[in-house]
Chain A
Amino acid sequence: MSSRTFIGRLGRLGQIGKLGKLGKLGKLGKLGKLGKLGALATIPTAVLLAGCPDDAPQFEEPFETIGPVAFGGRVAFVDQRRAEVHLITPELGSGPIDHDIVEIGRDPQVVATDLDAGRLLVLTHGSAGAPGVTEEEEAIWAIEPNGEATRYEVRSPFTAIGVHPDGDRLFLYFDQTVLSRSELVYNPHEVATVDLSEPPSGSNPALKTVRSFELVPTRAIFSPPLQIAGETIDFVAVLASDFVTLVDLDHPDRREVSIPLTLDPALEAVQPLEVVFSQPNPAIDPVVYVSAQGSTDVFAFTLREIEEVSEGGHFFSVAPNLYAVGAMPTDLQPATLATGEALLVATGTATLWVIDTTTSEATPISLEAPVRDIVPVRASDGTISQAILFAAGGNVVHFVQLEGLEDSVLREVDAVALAAPVGGVSPLPDGTTAAVFHADANRSVSILRLADHSVSALTATAPLDRTVFSADGARAFVASSFDARLSVIDVATRHPEDLRLDEVPTGLVLVPGPEILVVTHEAEAGLVTFVDATQPSRSTARMLEGFLLEGLLDRNGEIR
């Protein structure tokens, strides 16, 4: 390690007071093992000796963070207790670390970034108020890489954030699986749309209650821009049991469209799982494909253009169709074949269904083993050239070439049996390889060559639970929470090299520009290692520790 930096400058010692209870921070004593910190470790002790006031609980609370989250060339850690965000610019060498602390609202609950990771989003639930604590409404904070934060008051304790692909529009809702405890009563059918390109105002965020028939949403999925009746429309599909509701983000005055998935909700529960929007040609009506638990059909809702505006203010009507695939669909993938638009459907059986979306004809393709997931592999022009099919827990990976798929003679479907069960598959950015994460005891990794379907299985000596690929896919960084090492794998040659760490890693995140791998470790006040992702080496790596303590005393360590 080239350097270790203790960033936890506590500030004016006179304010430490009850630092004695920083006995928890005494775990910083672990840092003492890192050498340089030994000097600092004595400072709290000296203060303790000076006596401690009894009214500084802020220093008693442990650090509870959400992160690391990479965005805008920085890495963020959200301190839930102190309602602040630590923004750190990863740096190698021994120079000063660019570290900003951004104050946000109380009780941060959800953290996200926009799709290109240029902005950090934090949803805070505020506070109902208490003696000495002012009331604070729920809000969503948009934080720029330079630490500039904008607060949008949402006034509802949402538990999920949907981020539009344009990065500027958000859709906040209540995730059915998470109980929001911030308010005495809340409306789980309420949603909010936020336009981050506009300043906060009375109408931004905009709250509304979505028609939901007493069913709480489970997910919200954004559509790409769709062309309907001469308009470009972005929808968010709100999924709830038995319904998919389309909300027009561009026209808030238009009523939402609730599409049933069953005619007998009292008798059957149909839970939508996946929604795929498809409009391969702006001249044809878009289609919303839905797979659902409780149904062996794929739902296809065509948003058919109509001449006269509907009751809800729309220029489309919903024309349903169902494609029978014999078992519950587990994955959907639109594809363009020589015969036209198609939908690939996996059902957890040894059959891949290819649905001609023009004729609704479903063609079953027999496979050698059950598949649940379809992973598209894109060519350099962005088109999908082939798909990798697998089922988690199975040993077989299928490769399906889309060219000729409609022809039973020309069709190319290949199956490769792996030595260990598959946990997941991820095509790499170079488009020539894919990584297979195994579900064996060590969660080992294999590299697949897509050209010849050859497999290089890499043996792990400890369970691998973290993997990050470099942006160009040339290198894979693999870590185990049981081993203080990082494995750097050259994807082309499949050659792994170890990089020893000082501590066992708990997380990996890649920060672009220049690419630096950020490795987190278990520590009370924050401990990370920066690794040069381009030329990884222990000699150039840098540790940063105690950063959560930065300025703690200056801010009075307030728990807000």
Chain B
Amino acid sequence: MRSSIRLFFVLGCWGPACGAEGEDTGGGGYPDADADADGDYGGDSDIDADSDADADADIPPEVEVEADFRTPQAGRRYVYVADTSRDTVAVIDSRSLAIEIVEVGDAPFVLASIPGREAALVLYETMAQVGILETVNGETTISRLDVQPGANRIEVAPDGRHAVVLFDPARAVDPGASEGSYQDVTIIRVTDDPASIRLTVGFHPTDVLFADGGEQAFIVTEDGLHRIVLDEVSEPGVAPTLDIGPAPDDPSTREVVVAPGGEFALVRQPDLAAVSVVDVSARRRTEVALSSVPTDLDVSDDGSVAIAVLRDESTVAILPLPDVADDPESIRVIPIEGELFGQAVHAAGSSRLVLFTTAVPQESLVVLDLDSEDYYPVRLRKTVRTVGIAPGGLTAIVIHDKLPGDPRTAADLDERIDREYGYSLVDLDSLFVRLQTTPTNPEPFFLWEDGSHAFLALRDDFAGVRAVEAVDLGAFQVNTVHLPSPPFALGGVADTNQAFVAQEHKSGRITFIDIDSLATQTVTGFELGAEVME
């Protein structure tokens, strides 16, 4: 499972629909489990994982919070902010704070930056086009390409050379508007003679996965998986379908991951004690049987192994790639006694795996070394909602759940902590844990590209909370930067070593934060600049 906290960067939203994607799927609510929430450090878990089948059968499914711990793919110097109501995009120079207001067309509402370039893509509410903004020497130009009507999502390849535009029903903000196509995607060639080419894919594309550095895109649909070699797309057509097995009744319960090189796709189906390994080139699917139904599936960042979590057996199954495609018996299992876990996150660049569960209120996780097969339970102070790993693989960030109730009326410290929002930093070397409680839900998160810092926005309009927490992931120091207005988007500009926070303000407000000194610069009212008349 790709477990991460979504980066809310320059999505161009000024309305209430923006800024809340992917959150709150697991906050606050718990299944009825008679678990003791206080776990002991050193191996004893809250739940007896060696229980009989009847007890295991009572454990509900894992709650996967679609959070995204991605590092931002922003311009290195310029920040792009769209204003739907004024048909403009503000281009803010993070060095000089000079602002250029660019008229981009009717109702821009989705914005995505292009990594490695001072450029961004913009979708429109009313036009079936994508705009390509490019800033050179402080001046921004725009060109437009046709896309399918109703498109509301852009996924940009990591190399910045292509993008995939699609319609995502989950993001439709206007129930009265006509919906987009359920089977069209548009490939945007951003560089080398920009062009847009429409492809037909299976029903209801739900995800876009890039592999091979961005040269391949895999579109996950209910009908299957479509592999697209982006450089080879030159004319409209039907994207060939890879057989990934029968679709379950609820396609959202099926999980698909792709090896970084794009050679293999792996599929986990609900209620199936197996993982499908799809050899993309050979178009061959191999079923790898497992001893129980996996609750999570992941693939290592080097593509050498896939990882399946067998919660019912407290076991991690390692599927060596490419060997397992030819030899399904080549899997290796690592039992972890006395621990309950249903999800896994792999620390990129290392052999460590972080295991945790969200199915029951458990205040612990396990760090597993895939090479040595040593595992280390780590006690937490609060239950887990999701976990992400900072770039570099040295630190895990655990977003916690909050129990209902006012912390101020708690009976004791433990209950008080349980009733607070918060997150923990876990040093994966020393296993040191720092708990940081927060006045409100600590999302969205934004990680600096070298894993040295993290920033998260805190917002509670009712309580007047408007701040950013700046986290030094090396020293585990947390500082709070108070904001003049409620934040709705976070990002970073590497060129000037600054994080930025876009905030709610009728005329536009953005704060830049130096990641080292935490010095701030705020620009407000930049939308007024577009209305100045001579």
Residue ranges of A at the interface with B (Cβ–Cβ < 8 Å): 211, 255-264, 297, 299, 304, 310-314, 317-324, 358-362
- List B residues 499-534 near A (Cβ within 8 Å): 505-507, 509, 519-529, 531-534
- Nearest residue (CB) in A for B520 is A361
The number of chain B residues with a CB under 8 A from chain A is 25
Closest CB-CB distance, A38 to chain B, in whole Å? 69
A258, B534: Cα distance in complex, Å: 6
- Chain B residues lying within 8 Å of A255, measured Cβ to Cβ, are 534
A95, B403: Cα distance in complex, Å: 95
Q: Are B534 and A314 in contact (CB under 8 A)?
A: yes
Q: Are A257 and B532 in contact (CB under 8 A)?
A: yes
- Sorted nearest first, the 8 A-B pairs with minimum C-beta distance are A312-B534, A322-B524, A324-B484, A360-B522, A322-B525, A320-B525, A320-B528, A260-B531
A321, B99: Cα distance in complex, Å: 10
- List B residues 465-505 near A (Cβ within 8 Å): 484-485, 505
- List B residues 387-404 near A (Cβ within 8 Å): none
- Nearest residue (CB) in A for B505 is A322
Q: Are B533 and A258 in contact (CB under 8 A)?
A: yes
B272 in contact (CB, < 8 A): no
Given contacts A264-B506, A304-B98, A319-B98, contact A259 B532 (CB under 8 A): yes
B144 in contact (CB, < 8 A): no
Closest CB-CB distance, A187 to chain B, in whole Å? 19
Q: Are B521 and A257 in contact (CB under 8 A)?
A: no
- Chain A residues lying within 8 Å of B99, measured Cβ to Cβ, are 319
- Chain A residues lying within 8 Å of B526, measured Cβ to Cβ, are 319-321
Q: Are B507 and A361 in contact (CB under 8 A)?
A: no
Q: Are B525 and A299 in contact (CB under 8 A)?
A: yes
Q: Are B521 and A361 in contact (CB under 8 A)?
A: yes
Closest CB-CB distance, A242 to chain B, in whole Å? 10
A-B contact pairs, 6 of them (CB 8 A): A256-B534, A258-B534, A262-B507, A263-B506, A320-B525, A320-B526
- Chain B residues lying within 8 Å of A256, measured Cβ to Cβ, are 534
Closest CB-CB distance, A267 to chain B, in whole Å? 9
Closest CB-CB distance, B511 to chain A, in whole Å? 8
Q: Are A322 and B509 in contact (CB under 8 A)?
A: yes
A359, B99: Cα distance in complex, Å: 15
- Chain A residues lying within 8 Å of B507, measured Cβ to Cβ, are 262-263, 320, 322
- Nearest residue (CB) in B for A297 is B524
Q: Report which of B86, B484, B529 forms a contact with A320, defined as CB distance below 8 A.
A: B529
A313, B534: Cα distance in complex, Å: 9
Closest CB-CB distance, B210 to chain A, in whole Å? 38
- Chain A residues lying within 8 Å of B485, measured Cβ to Cβ, are 324
Closest CB-CB distance, B402 to chain A, in whole Å? 29
A321, B524: Cα distance in complex, Å: 5
Q: Are B524 and A324 in contact (CB under 8 A)?
A: yes
Q: Given A314-B534, A322-B507, A359-B521, output 10 extra A-B contacts at Cβ < 8 Å.
A: A255-B534, A257-B532, A257-B534, A259-B532, A263-B506, A263-B527, A263-B528, A304-B98, A318-B529, A323-B524
- Chain A residues lying within 8 Å of B484, measured Cβ to Cβ, are 324, 362
Given contacts A322-B509, A324-B485, A359-B521, contact A259 B534 (CB under 8 A): no
- Chain B residues lying within 8 Å of A317, measured Cβ to Cβ, are 529, 532
A361, B531: Cα distance in complex, Å: 25
- Nearest residue (CB) in B for A257 is B534
Given contacts A320-B507, A322-B525, contact A359 B531 (CB under 8 A): no
- Nearest residue (CB) in A for B99 is A319
Q: Are B523 and A321 in contact (CB under 8 A)?
A: yes
- Chain A residues lying within 8 Å of B534, measured Cβ to Cβ, are 255-258, 310-314
- Chain A residues lying within 8 Å of B521, measured Cβ to Cβ, are 358-361
Type the 1/0 row for B72-98, where 1 means its CB is closer than 8 Å to any CB of A. 000000000000001000000000011
Closest CB-CB distance, A47 to chain B, in whole Å? 65
Closest CB-CB distance, A300 to chain B, in whole Å? 8
- Nearest residue (CB) in B for A323 is B524
- Chain B residues lying within 8 Å of A312, measured Cβ to Cβ, are 534
Q: Are A211 and B533 in contact (CB under 8 A)?
A: yes
A63, B377: Cα distance in complex, Å: 98
- Chain A residues lying within 8 Å of B531, measured Cβ to Cβ, are 260, 263
Closest CB-CB distance, A315 to chain B, in whole Å? 12
- Nearest residue (CB) in A for B526 is A320
Q: Are A321 and B525 in contact (CB under 8 A)?
A: yes
- Nearest residue (CB) in A for B83 is A263
Q: Are A260 and B532 in contact (CB under 8 A)?
A: yes
Q: Are A263 and B524 in contact (CB under 8 A)?
A: no
Given contacts A324-B484, A361-B522, contact A263 B86 (CB under 8 A): yes
Closest CB-CB distance, B360 to chain A, in whole Å? 44
Closest CB-CB distance, A171 to chain B, in whole Å? 19
A299, B529: Cα distance in complex, Å: 12
Q: Report which of B505, B523, B527, B528 forms a contact with A360, defined as CB distance below 8 A.
A: B523
Closest CB-CB distance, A213 to chain B, in whole Å? 9
- Nearest residue (CB) in B for A255 is B534
Closest CB-CB distance, B206 to chain A, in whole Å? 38
- Chain A residues lying within 8 Å of B520, measured Cβ to Cβ, are 359-361
Q: Are A297 and B533 in contact (CB under 8 A)?
A: no
Closest CB-CB distance, B52 to chain A, in whole Å? 61
- Chain A residues lying within 8 Å of B523, measured Cβ to Cβ, are 321, 360
A359, B526: Cα distance in complex, Å: 15
Q: Of residues A211, A304, A359, which shows the largest number of chain B Cβ atoms within 10 Å of its Cβ?
A: A359
A261, B529: Cα distance in complex, Å: 10
- Chain B residues lying within 8 Å of A358, measured Cβ to Cβ, are 521
A259, B522: Cα distance in complex, Å: 20
Closest CB-CB distance, A313 to chain B, in whole Å? 8
- Chain B residues lying within 8 Å of A260, measured Cβ to Cβ, are 528, 531-532
Closest CB-CB distance, B111 to chain A, in whole Å? 19
Q: Of residues A319, A324, A358, which shows the largest number of chain B Cβ atoms within 10 Å of its Cβ?
A: A319
Q: Are A259 and B525 in contact (CB under 8 A)?
A: no
A20, B519: Cα distance in complex, Å: 82
Q: Report which of B506, B509, B527, B533 forms a contact with A257, defined as CB distance below 8 A.
A: B533
- Nearest residue (CB) in A for B485 is A324
A144, B467: Cα distance in complex, Å: 61
Closest CB-CB distance, B78 to chain A, in whole Å? 15
A358, B533: Cα distance in complex, Å: 26
Closest CB-CB distance, B429 to chain A, in whole Å? 37
Q: Of residues B505, B520, B525, which shows the largest number of chain A Cβ atoms within 10 Å of its Cβ?
A: B525
- Chain B residues lying within 8 Å of A263, measured Cβ to Cβ, are 86, 506-507, 527-528, 531
- Chain A residues lying within 8 Å of B86, measured Cβ to Cβ, are 263
- Nearest residue (CB) in A for B503 is A324
A317, B529: Cα distance in complex, Å: 9
- Chain B residues lying within 8 Å of A262, measured Cβ to Cβ, are 506-507
Closest CB-CB distance, B484 to chain A, in whole Å? 4
Closest CB-CB distance, A86 to chain B, in whole Å? 46
A322, B528: Cα distance in complex, Å: 10
Q: Of residues A255, A299, A360, which shows the largest number of chain B Cβ atoms within 10 Å of its Cβ?
A: A360
